[in-house]
Amino acid sequence: MNELKKENEKSEDVTNNFKIEQTNKNEARKAKNKQKNVLDYYIKLVVIFLILALTFWLGFERGQKNNSSVNNSNTPLELKNVTDKRQVDMSLYWDVFDKLKDKYVDAKKLTTEELIYNSIRGMLATTKDPYTVFMDPKENEEFSSDIEGTFEGIGAELGMKQGILTVISPLKDSPAQKAGLRSGDKILKVNDESTENISIDVAVSKIRGEDGTEVKLSIYRESAEEKTLDIVVTRGVIKVESVTFEMKKNNVAYFNVVRFGDDTAIKFGKLVGEMPKNAKGVVIDLRNNPGGYLDVAIDMSGFVLPKGDVVVIEEDKDEKKKKFYSRGKGEISGIKTVILINEGSASASEILAGALNDNRQDVTLVGKKSYGKGSVQELINLRKDTSVKITVARWLTPKEEQINEKGINPDVEVGLSEEDYNNNRDPQLDKALELLK
């Protein structure tokens, strides 16, 4: 417009009609330019749309090829068989998260931390593996206390047996044992609340509590006259000595191993050093021992197996097998030995019992069939004092026998009757001592 004005000033003889004509031409030019700009804009939109459509089509075709067997489901293609987390579309998750926080009637009671933690638990629950669990800071601290051997609660190891919450073993002299809980008891209710479909970590949180408080457990016991019983347990401070030693009659060394904690192998080695050199036999009592660290079981085997014997075989998710060998001096590997096991002997206990049974001809297993936990968990510490336990392998005995949910059968089966319990008799230990005469 400025250039047009200058030209009009130079042409003083231009008539008004010419000015009007020029003005009309200018307006027409503007209109034409405007139309061109609008056309360019729509062309750009069409190009962008075509690019997006092509990208979507290519992605869709790729998704169809990769997911042809499941392309009729309502699951977003981005979530199908994706192993790279960078390819996962998490928008659905965050949509629900936002809607819940925005619309839920009691949204003020929800914390972001609680929502995230329970989201993780839900993800792990899809494995249907009771031993693959997430632990928040409180649960993580309690787990560490359990392994270290000092905590408040009832003093019983819990597990899942055919989907039912079950007592693996009450710890020796614990409130659980004193109240009458036994290995194999199925817990149907906790304080009158059903345990159906409960996870182990939730069950533990309900049963655990402060010293002096009570918890009522409704249990099912096959051997009892009245199959269902209510047992009230007064919680206490649980201090677990992972291994103890004493000499029994006929010069037999008796080791009671109640769990495989951080220092169990070291303590066991020291006690082996205290054993008389002329000991006639050895009893290793693994009854009601729920397990612990795999490495500790392997270290302990070094005292009772010659160096180089296979202790356990791990089979990973790709069915690759890895052997672990005894790496000690085998200080008592030449002494006749009896291993005591029962329904409460699980995990690391079964590893040690299986290793001795498969490698040594002079070892006898006495008692009842063991629990049957043949899986290995890896404890992974995460941010903000949380952790996750993931089942990373199954383990086999040196003879490659799978014991998960099967257990290990004793060579000599000896049970404990109600009368034995009530009168503090131990026919299993009696049989062990008899075999070592």
Whole-number CA gyration radius for the chain:
36
Please say whether the structural domain 243-435 has been given the CATH code 1.10.1370.30.
no
Total H helices, total E strands in the chain: 12, 19
* Residue-level pLDDT at 161: 84
Q: Write down the pLDDT at residue 93.
A: 94
Q: What is the mean pLDDT of residues 299-310?
A: 97
- Chain centroid to Cα 344, Å, comes to 20
* pTM of this structure: 0.68
Q: Residue 86's pLDDT band (boundaries 50, 70, 90)?
A: low
- Phi and psi torsions of 291, nearest 5°: 115, -145
Among 40-54, 59-73, 95-109, top mean pLDDT goes to 95-109
Tens digit of each residue's pLDDT (9 = 90 or more) over 17-53: 434 344 444 444 444 444 444 334 433 433 333 333 3
Query: pLDDT tens digit string along 147-186?
Result: 666 678 999 989 888 889 999 889 888 999 999 999 899 9
Check pLDDT > 50 for residue 434.
Answer: yes
Label residue 87 exposed, middle or buried (CB < 10 Å: 0-12, 13-18, 19+). exposed
Least confident piece of the model among 83-97, 156-170, 288-302, 346-360: 83-97
Give 400's DSSP letter: -
pLDDT band at 279 (very low <50, low <70, confident <90, very high): very high
Average pLDDT, the chain: 83
8 A C-beta contact, residue 408 and residue 393: no
pLDDT band at 200 (very low <50, low <70, confident <90, very high): confident
Give residue 199's Cα distance to chain centre: 11
- Distance (Å, rounded) from C-alpha 387 to C-alpha 401? 31
**Euclidean distance between CA atoms 397 and 400, whole angstroms:** 5
Residue ranges per domain, the chain?
2-61, 90-125, 150-239, 243-435
Residues classed as catalytic: 347, 373, 377
Q: What is the dihedral of CA 161, 164, 170, 175, to 10 degrees?
A: 180
Query: 150-239: which CATH topology?
Result: Pdz3 Domain (2.30.42)
